[in-house]
Amino acid sequence: MAVVAARELRDGEVVFVGIGLPNLACNLARRTHAPNLVLIYESGAVGAVPDRLPVSIGDPALVTGSLMVCGMADVFQLFLQNGKIEVGFLGGAQVDRVGNINTTVIGPYERPKVRLPGSGGAAEIAIHARRVLIVSKLSPRAFPERVDFITSPGERVQRVITDKGVLEPDGPTGELVLTALYPGVEPADVQAGVGWTLRCRPNLAQVAAPAPADLRLLRDELDPQGLFLKT
């Protein structure tokens, strides 16, 4: 997933980076095909070049050597609301048929079955980043027909990168449809992890397997302890 997500990033783009797999994907892209990718973290690091895997979004390694460090009012107003962010990377406990994300509650808001962390910056990232990419593992619980709570609206979602294939919005409703499969995966395998009847685009694309060099970079240098790769 990290490799497929990295391929979505173009050299020179400004990307708002979330923690976990999005962070790995961005740093992989920066070390391979997109050396001029500008990584912005909501904690205030702009043009960060972390030389260890940041466990949290506020890791001190994001500060050392970065181009700019600013307060969070500047991050959200001058960069995000002002339209300077090209790509926003989000994950989520639930992603629904039209790409809405829930990171707030499972069950009713007032009496939650599971209380999740909440929005953080995810609501405004989904609203202001020009392209929104979602990275999430497939399962019927993670991909229900409708999320229990809309934390981040799905309007700007362009790709949902899963562990078996890629979904994209289709037509005026923005319904997510299957557009590409990983090697050795059938559409039925993807359907098994999605809670609605998944439509497939004709002529499904085949996602190329990760290059050995990318895997080596991920496993040996970017996440040697397997903090995020194991998932």
Partner 1 sequence: MSMQDAVARFVRDGDTVVIEGFTHLICFAAGHEIIRQRRRDLTLCRLTPDLIYDQMIAAGCARKVVFSWAGNPGVGSLHAFRRAVEGQGGLEIEEYSHFGMVARFAAGAAGLPFWPLRDYAGTDLPRANPRIKAVACPYTGEALATVPALNPDVTIVHAQRADAQGNTQIWGLLGVQKEAAFASQRVIVVVEELVDERVIRSDPNRTLIPAMIVDAVVVEPWGAHPSYAQGYYDRDNDFYVRWEAISRETARLESYLDEFVYGVTDRAAYLKKHPGLTARLEAKARISAGVNYGF
Give the position of tokens 């702009």.
46
Q: Torsion-angle region of residue 43: left (phi > 0), alpha (psi -120 to 50) or beta?
A: alpha
Contact between 87 and partner 1 by CB under 8 A: the answer reads: no
Per-residue binder mask for partner 1 (CB under 8 A), 37-66, x = binder: -----xxxx---------xxxxxx-xxx--
CA-to-CA separations, 27 to 11, 81, 179, 214, in angstroms, rounded:
12, 24, 25, 11
* Interface with partner 1, residue 226, by CB under 8 A: no
- With contacts defined by CB under 8 A, name the span among 30-38, 130-138, 152-160, 215-223 that binds partner 1: 152-160
Minimum CB distance to partner 1 smaller for 127 or for 215 = 127
Smallest Cα–Cα separation from 178: which of 150, 207, 141? 207
Nearer to partner 1, 34 or 148 (CB): 148
Q: CA-to-CA distance for 41 and 32, rounded, in angstroms? A: 20
Please count the other Cβ atoms lying within 10 Å of the Cβ belonging to residue 192: 13
Per DSSP bridges, beta strands 87-90 and 131-135 are parallel
The rounded distance, in Å, linking the Cα atoms of 21 and 228 is 6
- The b/e string for 153-176 (b: 16+ C-beta within 10 A; e otherwise) is ebebbebbbbbbbbbbbeeeebbb
Contacts of 82 (CB under 8 A, 6+ apart): none
- Quote the least distance from Cβ 229 to partner 1, whole Å: 14
172 contacts partner 1 (rule: CB under 8 A)? no
Q: According to the binding rule CB under 8 A, does residue 89 interact with partner 1?
A: no
Tell me, yes or no, if 42 is annotated catalytic.
yes
Does position 70 interact with partner 1 (CB under 8 A)? The reply is yes
Q: Is 72 in the site for partner 1 (CB under 8 A)?
A: yes
- Catalytic-role residue among 8, 13, 42, 175: 42
Nearer to partner 1, 103 or 191 (CB): 103
Which of 7, 97, 128, 164 contacts partner 1 by CB under 8 A? Answer: 128
Our finding on whether 195 is near partner 1 (CB under 8 A) is: no
Task: Select from 181, 155, 159, 156 the least CA-distant residue to 168.
Answer: 159
Compute how many residues bind partner 1; rule: CB under 8 A: 49
155 binds partner 1 (CB under 8 A): yes
Contacts with partner 1 by CB under 8 A lie at 19-20, 42-45, 55-60, 62-64, 69-73, 76-77, 80-81, 100, 104, 109, 112-124, 127-128, 149-153, 155, 227
Active-site residue list: 42
